[in-house]
């Protein structure tokens, strides 16, 4: 089982791989492929649960998925994404919510969508033994403030502020930093400045690692952001399998002899 220290050691040698997963079979596939980090992202809200955004995801909801993923994983580091307002409002609640992901659900770390409000909280969590992955750039829990999902760090002032916040989170003890939807030259600069690994999504090639949403990467999602890439077309495979099933049942070719059995001892019932 890799630790947050292994991840730090890998950075600089080899790119870190990270994908989301929300259930046990997917987590098994991702883990067997040798992915370093599995993020149980709050993207579960819009990717799996049918919400428009990640805002409605609850602590109980994410806990359910973190448990399923942790039970299936042998090797990858499992990171639980803390949902909107489950951290940063009240310190005790924040610590208890994050602690629950480790104590009860088997995660090894949490991710916090970060800002100036998470620097002290990151330090406190780390002191208590909860490893924290920070997240700067586009933080989708702010969708209502942004009015969408715009690229971040696009002017000098915003870029400098992001660099400062990255350094503050490293100093607070975060073990890595996700950079989402930021210019690649800014991500490169932040990566160069930090000792902890950066993991990019829509942040160009110079981060220490890359992360994508599983459903986008394998081609289940109907829509994917411009910075993502479909490495397969699993949706087409699923559609074909479901069509075949419907045809087989409707044409009464399933179930056939191979998928049924007769019990001789029940002959008397006829
Ligand atoms: O929730 C999520 O899937 C994420 C990744 C996109 C980094 O936060």
Nearest atom (ligand 1) to Cα of 211: 7
Q: How far is the CA of 140 from the centre of ligand 1 (A)?
A: 8
- Per-residue pLDDT, 8: 81
Mutate to test the pocket of ligand 1, among 39, 66, 112 (most ligand atoms within 8 A of CB): 39
Q: How far is the CA of 212 from the centre of ligand 1 (A)?
A: 7
Global pTM value: 0.96
Separation between Cα atoms, residue 162 and residue 166, nearest integer Å: 6
- Per-residue pLDDT, 270: 61
Could you tell me the CA-to-CA distances from 16 to 12, 76, 151, 185, 191 in Å, in that order?
Answer: 9, 11, 23, 19, 13
Q: Which residues contact 107 (CB under 8 A, 6 or more apart)?
A: 40, 66, 70, 78, 79, 80, 101
Q: Longest C-alpha distance within the chain, in Å?
A: 84
Catalytic residue among 113, 168, 170, 180: 180
Task: Name residues contacting ligand 1 (CB within 6 A).
Answer: 20, 39, 41-43, 81, 178, 180, 201, 211, 213
Q: Which residue is closest in CA terms to ligand 1's atom 3?
A: 41
SS (H, E, C) 161-199: HHHHHHHHHHHHCCCEEEEECCCHHHHHHHHHHCCCCEE
Q: How far is the CA of 108 from the centre of ligand 1 (A)?
A: 17
Q: How far is the CA of 39 from the centre of ligand 1 (A)?
A: 7
DSSP H or E run through 265:
none
Asked whether the beta carbons of 130 and 26 are under 8 A apart, the reply is no
- Per-residue pLDDT, 3: 85
pLDDT in tens, the chain (270 residues): 678 888 888 877 899 999 999 999 999 999 999 999 999 999 999 999 999 999 999 999 999 999 999 999 999 999 999 999 999 999 999 999 999 999 999 999 999 999 999 999 999 999 999 999 999 999 999 999 999 999 999 999 999 999 999 999 999 999 999 999 999 999 999 999 999 999 999 999 999 999 999 999 999 999 899 999 999 999 999 999 999 999 999 999 999 999 999 887 886 666
- Per-residue pLDDT, 50: 96
DSSP H or E run through 78:
strand 77-81
192 catalytically annotated: no
């Amino acid at each position: 089982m890799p630790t947050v220290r292994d991840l730090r050691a890998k950075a600089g040698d080899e790119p870190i791989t990270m994908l989301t997963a929300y259930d046990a079979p997917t987590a098994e596939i991702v883990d067997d492929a040798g992915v370093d980090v599995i993020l149980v992202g709050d993207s579960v809200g819009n990717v799996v649960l049918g919400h428009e955004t990640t805002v409605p995801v609850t602590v109980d909801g994410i806990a359910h998925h973190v448990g399923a993923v942790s039970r299936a994983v042998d090797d990858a580091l499992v990171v639980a994404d803390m949902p909107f307002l489950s951290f940063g409002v009240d310190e005790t609640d924040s610590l208890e919510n994050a602690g629950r992901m480790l104590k009860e659900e088997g995660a090894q770390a949490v991710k916090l969508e970060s800002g100036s409000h998470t620097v002290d909280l990151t330090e406190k969590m780390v002191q208590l033994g909860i490893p924290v992955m920070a997240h700067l750039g586009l933080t989708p829990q702010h969708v209502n403030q942004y009015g969408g999902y715009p690229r971040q760090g696009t002017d000098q002032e915003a870029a400098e502020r992001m660099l400062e916040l990255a350094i503050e989170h490293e100093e607070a003890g975060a073990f890595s930093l996700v950079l989402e939807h930021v210019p690649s030259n800014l991500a490169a600069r932040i990566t160069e400045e930090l000792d902890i690994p950066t993991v990019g999504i829509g942040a160009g090639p110079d981060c220490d690692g890359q992360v994508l949403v599983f459903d986008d990467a394998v081609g289940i999602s109907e829509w994917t952001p411009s910075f993502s890439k479909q490495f397969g077309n699993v949706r087409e495979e699923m559609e074909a399998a479901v069509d075949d099933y419907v045809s087989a049942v409707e044409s009464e070719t399933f179930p056939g002899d191979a998928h049924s059995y007769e019990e001789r001892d029940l002959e008397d019932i006829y």
